[in-house]
Amino acid sequence: MAPRKAAALRAGDRTLREHLIVTAERMISERGTAGLTVRAIAREAGVADGVLYNHFADKEELLAHALRARVEAIGRTLPPLPEPGDATVEANLRVYVEHGLLLHDGLLPALAGLLAQPRVLDRFTALNGGGGDWRNRLARYLRGERDLGRIAAGARVEAATSMIVGVCHEAVLSVLLQGEGTAPRTSPEKVDDLVATVLEGIGPR
């Protein structure tokens, strides 16, 4: 093992690939992705500039993995998502909506620097199988409630999921596109309105 590689890894048991992802994720959390270069990541990780290309096809692949790690890190700070059959469907949907809004709000600094880097977003989407864990959990939750009979047997789960996800996306897209400083805070009343609207379409008949 090269001396710089040994220095980079001596503090833990991570592989060098994992170390690079963790380093890039930390840098994203501290300064976003704007202007984040291979050299800056390598210097922060304590390795030579070219080492990155031994473990990733390019910078975009590394950033996609780092962005996924950032999503997972934010998710660990949020309350657990309910399972089908817990509490009431209305209360559970409120938790899912609030979780989604907080997740997107936390990702705003990273996303702001990625608008001009569509390849990173494409790689990130591919890593997540076309959708983030929160979105997939929401869809699975709704299917579970449908199986339990707590929502309509013919409930259009994918449409309801897309509606909720779209509202959470809109909350940050408006900030990114308008160049405002902070994400708009969705009021509890707006969360309640969204939940009520969704339940009107999928609630038990």
Residues composing the chain: 205
Distance, CA of 171 to CA of 187 (rounded, Å): 11
Residue with tokens 């503090």: 11
Q: How many angstroms from the chain centroid is the CA of residue 67?
A: 8
Residue-wise pLDDT for 135-151, tens only, equals 899 999 999 999 999 99
3-state secondary structure the chain: CCHHHHHHHCCCCCCHHHHHHHHHHHHHHHHCCCCCCHHHHHHHHCCCHHHHHHCCCCHHHHHHHHHHHHHHHHHHCCCCCCCCCCCCHHHHHHHHHHHHHHHHHHHHHHHHCCCCCHHHHHHHHHHCCCCCHHHHHHHHHHHHHHHHCCCCCCCCHHHHHHHHHHHHHHHHHHHHHHCCCCCCCCCHHHHHHHHHHHHHHHCCC
**Residues in the chain where the model's pLDDT stays below 70:** 1-13, 112, 115-116, 128-132, 173-186, 205
Residue-wise pLDDT for 110-168, tens only, equals 776 776 677 887 887 777 654 458 889 999 999 999 999 999 999 999 999 999 988 88
| pLDDT (0 to 100) of residue 169 | 79
Instruction: Please give the model's pTM, rounded to 2 decimal places.
Output: 0.76
Are 63 and 33 spatial neighbours (Cβ–Cβ below 8 Å)? yes
Name residue 49's amino acid: D
| pLDDT (0 to 100) of residue 12 | 58
